[in-house]
Amino acid sequence: MLVIKDLHASINGKEILKGINLNVKPGEVHAIMGPNGAGKSTMSNVLVGHPKYVVTKGSVTFNGKNLLDMAPEVRSHEGLFLSFQYPVEIPGVSMVNFMRSAINEQRKYHNLEPLAAGKFLKLMREKRAFVEMDSKLSNRAVNEGFSGGEKKRNEIFQMAMLEPTLAILDETDSGLDIDALRIVADGVNKLKAPDRSAIVITHYQRLLDYIKPDIIHVLYDGRIVKTAGPELALELEEKGYDWIKEELGE
Amino acid sequence: MNIEQQYIDLFEEQYDALCHNSTELMNAPRKEAMAHFEKQGIPKKGVERYRYTRLDDVLKVDYGVNMQCLLPKFNPYKEFECDAKGLGTDLHFLVNGVYYDKKPSDAEGVYVGSLKKFAAEHPERLRPYYNRLAAAQKDSMAEFNTAFVQDGLLLFVPRNTKVEDTIQLINILHSNVDMIIFRRILVVIEQGAEAKLLLCDHVTQQQRYFSSQVIEVFVGENAHLDIYDLEETHNLTARVNHVYVEQEGNSNVVINGTTLHNGLTRNDIYVDMIGQGANVELSGMAIADKEQHVDNHTFVRHKVPNCTSHELFKYVLDDVAVGAYSGRVLVERDAQKSYSEQSSKNLCLNSKAHMYTQPQLEIYADDVKCSHGATVGQLDEDALFYMMQRGIPKTEARMLLMFAFVSDVIDQIRIPSLQERLHHLTEQRFRGELDQCAGCALCQK
């Protein structure tokens, strides 16, 4: 589904990703862990096409297509979704208008008619229940005045609406209390399907108790330095990252 | 020959024709107004109030004048359908500044119709009002209007009368040659009365127009008046619009202006609050691109205690458009417990668009609450990217952001159908689909 080969990327001339290789197959959940500044968020931003990051080398194919050639909105239409670490507040743009535009643009891309108003609102209701989101929130402007937890819940709500084939969750657990974490994780798990994959970026084992990964990678200094099964997360939780650095001889 | 001299000569040569096609009440102040105009001239460089708007260039054009008050061959009530029908308004037309006759309203004592006609029949009733506020300010461009204006609209609502339907005045500029148009609007809302007035400016042909408008508004105690002003002209139109408002105690006034399409626009709004408990809400939105120029100048005077004033102006500027806002609030010594807020927020979509904003407070009382603020910024790149990640293309995302930006100005409108209509027009404008007003038979000719 997603094949990353020797990906190098920089921001403001500074190289952050220094040769990432990753292969995500349909139905798999990958976790990416790593110390601060390793390049985890850079990797997710590069994948969704953030204009601030420049890819200097390497390739990314998504379902056989060259992902790096696509505009950000096309990547979205092709099934890529990023749950942002810091969701943006957009004053004045209502959740309803925002989601309607997003859904209908996606449908347009797939040569489908826009969703009728009634059907759209029904879909909103259904998916809201998914993440136990208050109907009041969906009547407000996008993320405006939302608490940290509400913002993250809203990300998962949008994911449920757009039904991506590959979701990247960038520190979706940060700033969440235990109840919110469970709700968000449940939301993610309910979206699991044989043809859908996820990349979960996190610092902590905690989220991985809820969202069970198949494979865990450690990203360090712009490279994936270790790949193993779920047991790796426990080891990291216990020992931190220093032993990996030592293994690397640093 | 300087520009002023052309008009001074025209005034002298055509004085008899001017007066002949108007009425005594409107003729009386002409000479004095012309003398003031002659003395002050067109605002020159260095005149602070006109700092951001130069009028000499647009007045250099050799305009024709509709001195004979001729009406066009078409009947606007038939030809000009525009969007008026859906709004359910009581519709009136001024074509090139001349009132196009309509059967007078049935409502008791309410008069909506030709200012010239009413002034000819009942000059004594308008004498306390006509040109009182305008003359007091001695603005040369308003004096210019007083010198040449021959007709316009009068809205007179007697004591304790509520006019249900919104009164809509459509100003049509229609000419085969470049033309200067003068019109006057006089609004008298007596004690306890209520009315809503919608003004729409349209042009038909690709001529240069100079449109001079003076509105004088008298709002009595406990009276309510809303004025909505929508300009949808074209790049060759220059408009200078003076609005003078006098508010008595506990009166409530809303003035909301929208510049959707224009060439050069200068709106001057003066509000005098002379009775305690008066409230005024001024708001304005401008969407300008290419070489369009929009300047809103406001001056609110809190003369007595316990009055409130609110101002909200938002501009979206693209290409090499220029926007200006200067808002002055004066709180006089006795005006304790005044409340005033001013907000000017602006988007410059590229580095060549210019915005000048100048909120000002001048306070002589010591127990007041006044605030002002101004921002000039760009569209939020992070918000744009966030929307793109959700599949919304950049152009559409920009549209949503711009639309969101101005929507709170539109929300100041207290007529739901008009609010909806403006949301729609604004969206069309941002999408670039609004080169002509839709549905109007005249535009399509």
Question: Structural domains in chain A?
Answer: 2-86+149-247 (3.40.50.300)
Convert the pLDDT of each residue in B334-360 to its tens digit. Answer: 999 999 999 999 999 999 999 999 999
For position A240, what pLDDT does the model report?
A: 82
Mean pLDDT of B173-190: 96
**Residue to substitute from B389, B395, B431, interface A, most A β-carbons within 10 A:** B389
Mean residue pLDDT of chain B comes to: 93
Which segment of A43-57, B46-60, B140-154, B169-183 scores lowest on mean pLDDT?
B46-60
- Quick check: A106 and B391 CB within 8 A? yes
* Residue A93 with chain B: CB contacts under 8 Å: 383, 400-401, 404
Are residues A14 and A8 in contact, defined by beta-carbon separation less than 8 angstroms? no
More confident residue, A207 or B409: B409
- Quick check: A98 and B387 CB within 8 A? yes
- Sorting pLDDT into bands at 50, 70 and 90, what band is B444? very low
Window A:51-90, CB contacts with B under 8 Å: 51, 71-73, 75-77, 81-82, 84, 87-90
- Quick check: A101 and B387 CB within 8 A? yes
Could you give the percent of chain B with pLDDT greater than 90? Answer: 82
| Reported ipTM exceeds the 0.90 cut | yes
3-state secondary structure B379-419: CCHHHHHHHHHCCCCHHHHHHHHHHHHHHHHHCCCCCHHHH
For position B86, what pLDDT does the model report?
A: 64
Tell which residue, B84, B4, B53, has the closest CA to residue B442: B84
* Residue B389 with chain A: CB contacts under 8 Å: 48, 72-73, 75-76, 81-82, 84
**DSSP string covering chain A:** -EEEEEEEEEETTEEEEEEEEEEE-TT-EEEEE--TTSSHHHHHHHHHT-TTEEEEEEEEEETTEEGGGS-HHHHHHTTEEEE-SSPPPEEEEEHHHHHHHHHHHHHHHTT-PPPPHHHHHHHHHHHHHHTT--HHHHHSEETTT--HHHHHHHHHHHHHHH--SEEEEESTTTT--HHHHHHHHHHHHHT--TT-EEEEE-S-HHHHHHS--SEEEEEETTEEEEEE-THHHHHHHHH-SHHHHHHTT-
Helix (H) or strand (E) holding B91: strand B90-95
- Sorting pLDDT into bands at 50, 70 and 90, what band is A186? confident
State how far the Cα of B64 lies from the Cα of B55, in Å rounded to an integer.
17
* Residue A71 with chain B: CB contacts under 8 Å: 388, 393-394
Contact B382/A at CB under 8 A: yes
For position B445, what pLDDT does the model report?
A: 42
Whole-number Cα distances in Å, A33 to A212, A225, A237: 14, 11, 10
Strand, helix or coil at B145?
A: helix
Nearest by CB: A105 against B380, B382, B396: B396
State how far the Cα of B354 lies from the Cα of B348, in Å rounded to an integer.
7
Six-digit token pair at B98? 């001349």
Which segment of A70-79, B71-80, B139-148 scores lowest on mean pLDDT?
B71-80
- Sorting pLDDT into bands at 50, 70 and 90, what band is A174? confident
Tell which residue, B90, B102, B98, has the closest CA to residue B198: B90
How many residues in chain B?
Answer: 445
Residue whose entry in the numeric block shows the structure tokens 């929307």? B387
3-state secondary structure B352-383: CCEEEEEEEEEECCCCCEEEEEEEEECCCHHH
Mean residue pLDDT of chain A comes to: 91
Res B82 pLDDT > 80: no
Q: What is the pTM of this model?
A: 0.89
- Sorting pLDDT into bands at 50, 70 and 90, what band is B436? low
Nearest by CB: B400 against A77, A89, A101: A101
Convert the pLDDT of each residue in A129-173 to its tens digit. Answer: 888 888 887 778 999 999 888 899 999 999 999 999 999 999 888
Convert the pLDDT of each residue in B288-311 to its tens digit. Answer: 999 999 999 999 999 999 999 999
Res B28 pLDDT > 50: yes
Six-digit token pair at A65? 């297509």
For position B438, what pLDDT does the model report?
A: 47
- Sorting pLDDT into bands at 50, 70 and 90, what band is A236? confident
Residue B271's φ and ψ, nearest 5 degrees, are: -125, 125
For position A191, what pLDDT does the model report?
A: 84
Contact B408/A at CB under 8 A: yes
State how far the Cα of A202 lies from the Cα of A237, in Å rounded to an integer.
11
Tell which residue, B298, B385, B288, B392, has the closest CA to residue B340: B298
For position B77, what pLDDT does the model report?
A: 84
Contact B400/A at CB under 8 A: yes
Convert the pLDDT of each residue in B307-340 to its tens digit. Answer: 999 999 999 999 999 999 999 999 999 999 999 9
Contact A167/B at CB under 8 A: no
CB pairs under 8 A between A and B: 74
- Sorting pLDDT into bands at 50, 70 and 90, what band is A203? confident
Mean pLDDT of A47-64: 96
- Sorting pLDDT into bands at 50, 70 and 90, what band is A192? confident
How many residues in chain A?
Answer: 250
- Quick check: A92 and B391 CB within 8 A? no
- Sorting pLDDT into bands at 50, 70 and 90, what band is A208? confident
- Quick check: A162 and B394 CB within 8 A? no
Tell which residue, B147, B139, B218, has the closest CA to residue B180: B147
Res B181 pLDDT > 70: yes
Residue whose entry in the numeric block shows the structure tokens 């009365």? B193
State how far the Cα of B392 lies from the Cα of B405, in Å rounded to an integer.
18
- Quick check: B391 and A82 CB within 8 A? no
Are residues B169 and B93 in contact, defined by beta-carbon separation less than 8 angstroms? yes
Res B88 pLDDT > 90: no
Residue whose entry in the numeric block shows the structure tokens 């224009």? B262
Question: Largest Cα–Cα distance of chain B, in whole Å?
Answer: 69
